[in-house]
């Protein structure tokens, strides 16, 4: 699978994948994903409202995330398949044009069951290598 311009990159809102996103943003990779590859960036998370709002403000996630599918707002939680359906509906893209990054294997498997390409985040280097194998070189 190579990523095309209609694709959306969705990341888990958990701490390790947020760290990946923040590192990527620090390296201006968010602009690379959005400007070079024309990707929209979304976050799906299972956070309480207070933690969700804190992280968005503290780390300025709204500076590079196009939209948030937060359980505290949509009243769905992973692993409920409905949260993935909602993300697809809001993004208005088909599953094959979505890339999902998460550090929880069960959530990656659920995304895969929808036809969404899932990457299990372990660390920055391995996730970067997976992205590069899909045509998203971050160098």
**Average pLDDT of each block of 10 consecutive residues along the chain (139 residues)?**
50 56 56 71 88 84 84 91 90 86 90 90 83 78
Distance CA 19, CA 81 (A): 25
Q: How much is the pLDDT for 4?
A: 45
Residue ranges and CATH numbers for the domains of the chain are 8-133 (3.40.50.1000)
Answer whether 29's CB lies under 8 Å from 119's CB. Answer: no
The predicted model scores a pTM of 0.79
């Amino acid at each position: 699978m190579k990523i095309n311009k209609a694709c959306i990159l969705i990341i888990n809102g958990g701490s390790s994948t947020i760290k990946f996103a923040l590192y990527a943003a620090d390296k201006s990779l968010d602009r690379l994903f959005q400007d070079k590859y024309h990707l929209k960036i979304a976050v799906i998370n299972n956070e309480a409202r207070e933690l969700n709002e804190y992280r968005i403000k503290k780390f300025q996630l709204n500076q590079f995330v196009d939209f948030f599918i937060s359980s505290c707002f949509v009243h769905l939680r992973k692993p409920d398949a409905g949260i993935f359906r909602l993300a697809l509906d809001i993004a208005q893209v088909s599953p094959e044009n979505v890339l999902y990054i998460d550090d929880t294997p069960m959530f990656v498997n659920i995304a895969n069951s929808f036809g969404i390409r899932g990457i299990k985040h372990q660390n920055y280097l391995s996730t970067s290598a997976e992205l590069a194998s899909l045509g998203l070189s971050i160098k």
